[in-house]
């Protein structure tokens, strides 16, 4: 275990949100880990045309304001997603709003898209060197009169500054947001985004991030509407509003989205549903509960071309990305796969 991982565990003595703020400040100051070795070539892959040194990505939520994407790339992540960012700054929900469920290796959050707003986010992306793949996760302000318009504003303002975009309609912490996953609302949202993209110069993949709490038929609807409007893929999945009976932490009853280890199995099951129904060639990214090479490999075998994690960093520290990458490479070779793409959907 590295000194950075030990320091991360020491932060558990602090309030979770205060600890996270200190982490971001430390990364901005250059105190994060740096991987000196070259990535294992077996892990190199392509994600909707983006060349990645490895398939282990950092999920949105860790770096809401694009303060430390390069520090996390240096820590061994193959790609980093910043946000969720909204057009206007917003404070989010009242504190406390972030809870560690340590016995369950889980987290509950009800942050509510707290962020510094689009202009601060765009300014930081504009100042960074364009090395490594960095995406922008865009959302809508809670009090917006035109939530779909907020996504259009985010996409157009950040076009050319981010390597890809994620349309976040699946956070449970903005009232009514998940209603955008229904067919009519999704048709309007993705239609307006497609119209906004037409005059913009250059390609950039656009992904849709969905909830794991989907009803029968919603998987097929999301896939067909996404493909019809030119999206590149789906991120499966965001946090869950479910509370498994296995949870033992006293914080388990807190309102918000549950992430971490308890989400691994249900989110992978939903991912497999998307893979089985995906006859339209959309790329799938697996998220939810990943804390090991075995978890990442399970997502890939279930149909994910790449994966994302965040909550496990709370318990495992910033060295987790390199440990997962090393284990994943060994598993691919042990099973006779020459690349990530060869293992996608193998289960």
pLDDT band at 305; cut points 50, 70, 90 = very high
pLDDT exceeds 90 at position 8? no
Predicted structure pTM score: 0.96
Does domain 3-343 match CATH 3.20.20.70?
Answer: yes
| 217-222 long-range Cβ contacts below 8 angstroms, 24+ apart | 218/181, 219/270, 219/273, 219/274, 219/277, 220/277, 221/183, 221/186, 222/181, 222/186, 222/274
Integer Cα distance of 57 and 309 in angstroms:
6
Integer Cα distance of 190 and 196 in angstroms:
10
Integer Cα distance of 295 and 275 in angstroms:
17
282: phi then psi, degrees, rounded to nearest 5? -75, 145
Taking only the tens place, the pLDDT of each residue in 84-93 is 999 999 999 9
Integer Cα distance of 173 and 278 in angstroms:
28
The residue assigned the tokens 């193959």 is 78
Q: Reduced to 3 states, what is the DSSP secondary structure of residue 271? A: helix
**Percent of the chain scored above 70 by pLDDT?**
97
Please identify which of the residues 171, 226, 232, 237 carries the catalytic annotation.
Answer: 171
Q: Are 321 and 2 in contact (CB under 8 A)?
A: no
CA distances from residue 125 to 2, 47, 88, 136, 318 in whole angstroms, order as listed: 29, 21, 17, 9, 22
pLDDT exceeds 80 at position 239? yes
pLDDT exceeds 60 at position 1? no
Q: Are 311 and 107 in contact (CB under 8 A)?
A: yes
The residue assigned the tokens 């989907």 is 214
Residues in the chain: 347
Q: Are 171 and 132 in contact (CB under 8 A)?
A: no
Of all helices (H) and strands (E), which one includes residue 206?
strand 206-210
pLDDT exceeds 90 at position 235? yes
Integer Cα distance of 81 and 60 in angstroms:
5
pLDDT band at 4; cut points 50, 70, 90 = low
What tokens does 265 get? 């199995």
Q: Are 258 and 241 in contact (CB under 8 A)?
A: yes
pLDDT of residue 12: 84
57: phi then psi, degrees, rounded to nearest 5? -110, 160
pLDDT exceeds 80 at position 336? yes
**Do β-strands 164-168 and 306-309 pair in parallel, antiparallel, or remain unpaired?**
unpaired
Quick one: DSSP state of residue 187?
A: H
How large is the average pLDDT for residues 101-120?
98
Of all helices (H) and strands (E), which one includes residue 166?
strand 164-168
pLDDT band at 11; cut points 50, 70, 90 = confident
Per DSSP, what are the bridge partners of residue 101?
Answer: 106
Closest CA to 210 of 184, 239, 252, 189: 239
pLDDT band at 5; cut points 50, 70, 90 = low
Q: Are 259 and 288 in contact (CB under 8 A)?
A: yes
Taking only the tens place, the pLDDT of each residue in 151-199 is 999 999 999 999 999 999 999 999 999 999 999 999 999 999 999 999 9
Integer Cα distance of 213 and 242 in angstroms:
8
| Neighbouring C-beta atoms of residue 229, cutoff 10 Å | 19
| Residue 267 known to be catalytic | no
Q: Are 68 and 327 in contact (CB under 8 A)?
A: no
């Amino acid at each position: 275990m590295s000194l950075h991982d030990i320091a991360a565990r020491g932060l558990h003595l602090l309030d979770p949100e205060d600890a996270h703020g200190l982490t971001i400040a430390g990364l901005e100051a250059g105190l994060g880990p740096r991987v000196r070795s070259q990535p294992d070539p077996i892990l190199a892959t392509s994600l909707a045309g983006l060349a990645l040194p490895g398939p282990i990505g950092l999920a949105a939520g860790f770096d809401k304001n694009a303060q430390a994407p390069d520090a996390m790339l240096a820590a061994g992540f193959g790609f980093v997603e910043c946000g969720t960012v909204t057009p206007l700054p917003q404070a989010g929900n009242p504190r406390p709003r972030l809870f560690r469920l340590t016995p369950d290796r889980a987290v509950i959050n009800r942050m509510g898209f707290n962020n510094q707003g689009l202009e601060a986010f765009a300014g930081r992306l504009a100042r960074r060197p364009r090395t490594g793949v960095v995406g922008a996760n865009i959302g809508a302000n809670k009090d917006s009169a035109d939530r779909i318009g907020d996504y259009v504003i985010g996409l157009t303002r950040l076009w050319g500054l981010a390597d890809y975009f994620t349309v976040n309609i699946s956070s449970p912490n903005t009232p009514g947001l998940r209603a955008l996953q229904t067919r009519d609302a999704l048709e309007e949202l993705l239609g307006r985004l497609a119209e906004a993209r037409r005059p913009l110069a250059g390609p950039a993949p656009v992904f849709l991030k969905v909830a794991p709490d989907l009803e029968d038929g919603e998987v097929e609807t999301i896939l067909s509407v996404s493909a019809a409007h030119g999206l590149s893929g789906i991120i499966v999945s965001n946090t869950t509003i479910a509370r498994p009976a296995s949870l033992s932490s006293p914080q388990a009853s807190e309102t918000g989205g549950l992430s971490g280890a308890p989400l691994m199995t249900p989110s992978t099951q939903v991912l497999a549903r998307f893979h089985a129904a995906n006859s339209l060639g959309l790329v799938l990214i697996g998220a939810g509960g990943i804390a090991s090479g075995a978890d990442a490999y399970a997502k890939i075998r279930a149909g994910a071309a790449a994966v994302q994690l965040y909550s496990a960093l709370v318990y495992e520290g910033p060295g987790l990305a390199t440990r997962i990458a090393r284990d994943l490479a060994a598993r691919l070779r042990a099973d006779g796969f020459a690349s990530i793409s060869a293992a996608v959907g193998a289960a």
